[in-house]
Amino acid sequence: MSQPVAGFSKLNKEEKIDWLKRHYLQNNTEAVKILKQYWNEDAKLQQLHDEFTENTISNFYLPFGIAPNFNINGKLLAIPMAIEESSVIAATSKAAKFWGSRGGFKAEVLNTKKIGQVHFIYSGEKEKLQRYFKEVKPKLFKSVKEITANMEKRGGGVLEIELRDKTASLENYYQLHCNFETKDSMGANFINSCLEKFAHVFKEEAEKCPDFTSEEQNIEILMSILSNYVPECIVRAEVSCPVEQLSEESGMTGEEFASKFKRAIRIAEIEKYRAVTHNKGIMNGIDAVVLATGNDFRAVEAGIHAYASKDGSYTSLTHASVEAGIFKFWMEIPLALGTVGGLTSLHPMVKLALEMLQKPSAKELMEIVAVAGLAQNFGAVRSLITTGIQQGHMKMHLMNILNQQEATPEEKKMITDYFKNHTVSHNSVINQLEKLRQQ
């Protein structure tokens, strides 16, 4: 059993790898070679990556792909996606092509408010606290002027600060519940800096407040942090077309397809086990674009799943209807994204991804990401109710199996040709490869 290490972060990269090799990699020099193989030759570029986080010892690659032909509000875009899962980009691209010839995707940002909270404990008279809050509120706004100056120039800033009484849920618990507009930045640093300043001033001024008893002056600040739940930062994405335009290669009529599709969505609306998988498919599209554009996919995931259960029960994020012969499929989701700040101008691939998207504003990126999610869901549900998911999945997985078996380019070509007309399974690919190698 290895001993805890002291001062690990102070070791240089080589020393960290050496420590790892000795303690956890059985002195395996091959492992060290792999770690170093992923270093970038360009030392400056590598240093940039090293400094994104702590204790970096190598880089971790993800495929960076493109889903072309996205008609979003009349603009044709190629969407960059960073994702390892076979078939996600293929399914998204297929959905883009399908809807491209049926009017394209419509997307609209409905609102852009973000939330942050100062959580504190106060055990005195409520009326006194309310009076104090009214008095101190202008000082709170004033206290962050230095932090908000640039944001205000861009049209953002602190929108409102409310005192919220949460004592019914937890003894003596109150909040400063604050609304922010952060324009093109995701705004996490901006919001957290404002909140910490509010907390400081709120406590400091209370200590001077003559209305409070000495015990009441002792407001205990617990924490100040933004919320990743952003139900008032919402984007809507939608597609629609006459039902007859939905007829399928598989031979299904438009009416049959619309009816099956609607029922599949309805099941995700009422059945939790299905809803989670259904929404996971949506996140395949969303996360891939969020990652490629250098945004925080954990924040996006947490916020969206919370929104999926906003009415008390976890449900589908997408909905479908047929009215007067028109099939409509849509989704409204919360998304807090940035196109300035964070990694956006630092990470060369992120910068490039944003350039490919024609340097979108945060609102435009919200629309693009929502469309990628809707397209991905359309593709998944369409496969599920027609051919089944495995056909496409296994075709894409075929290359992974061939790579595991170290197939040569010639073998890959022959095997993929063979499986154009045969069902892919792990065993069938291995058998076919063995047959080929015996010949």
Which residues are at the interface with ligand MEV (CB under 6 A)? 85, 277-278, 280-281, 284, 380-381, 384, 389
Dist CA 43 CA 9 (whole Å): 20
CB atoms within 10 A of CB 367: 24
Q: How far is the CB of 268 from ligand MEV (least distance, A)?
A: 8
Residues in the chain: 439
Instruction: Concatenate the DSSP letters of all residues of 353-397 into one string.
Output: HHHHTTS--HHHHHHHHHHHHHHHHHHHHHHHHTT-SHHHHHHHH
Is the Cα dihedral 29, 30, 35, 39 positive or negative? positive
Residue 293 or 376: which CB sits closer to ligand MEV? 376
Q: How far is the CB of 418 from ligand MEV (least distance, A)?
A: 25
Cβ-closest position to ligand MEV: 281
HSE of 131 in the Cβ direction (CA atoms, 13 Å)?
Answer: 10
Residue 148 or 279: which CB sits closer to ligand MEV? 279
Q: How far is the CB of 56 from ligand MEV (least distance, A)?
A: 29
**Residue 37: exposed, middle, or buried by beta-carbon count in 10 A (0-12, 13-18, 19+)?**
exposed
For residue 242, report the phi and psi dihedrals to the nearest 5 degrees: -60, 140
Q: How far is the CB of 191 from ligand MEV (least distance, A)?
A: 32
Q: How far is the CB of 60 from ligand MEV (least distance, A)?
A: 20
Q: How far is the CB of 91 from ligand MEV (least distance, A)?
A: 8
SS3 406: coil
Q: How far is the CB of 424 from ligand MEV (least distance, A)?
A: 16
Give the 3-state secondary structure percentages of the chain, helix then strand then coil, rounded to 5. Answer: 50, 20, 30
Residue 288 or 433: which CB sits closer to ligand MEV? 288
Residue 88 or 188: which CB sits closer to ligand MEV? 88
Q: How far is the CB of 383 from ligand MEV (least distance, A)?
A: 7
Instruction: Give the closest residue to 242 by CA, choosing from 260, 254, 224, 251.
Output: 254
SS3 407: coil
Angle at CA of residue 219, ends 121 and 122, nearest 5°: 40
Which residues contact residue 132 at a Cβ distance below 8 angstroms, ignoring those fewer than 6 apart? 205, 206, 209, 211, 212
By the 8 A CB rule, do 123 and 172 touch?
A: yes
Q: Which amino acid is at 19?
A: W
Residue 107 or 380: which CB sits closer to ligand MEV? 380
DSSP symbol at 8: G
DSSP symbol at 246: G
Residue 16 or 397: which CB sits closer to ligand MEV? 397
Q: How far is the CB of 85 from ligand MEV (least distance, A)?
A: 6
By the 8 A CB rule, do 120 and 199 touch?
A: yes
Residue 280 or 319: which CB sits closer to ligand MEV? 280
Residue 80 or 281: which CB sits closer to ligand MEV? 281
Q: How far is the CB of 229 from ligand MEV (least distance, A)?
A: 24
Residue 65 or 242: which CB sits closer to ligand MEV? 65
Residue 185 or 377: which CB sits closer to ligand MEV? 377
Report the DSSP beta bridge partners of residue 225: 117
Is the Cα dihedral 423, 429, 435, 437 positive or negative? positive
Helix 254-270 to helix 272-292 angle, to the nearest 10 degrees? 100
Residue 278 or 363: which CB sits closer to ligand MEV? 278
Q: How far is the CB of 333 from ligand MEV (least distance, A)?
A: 16
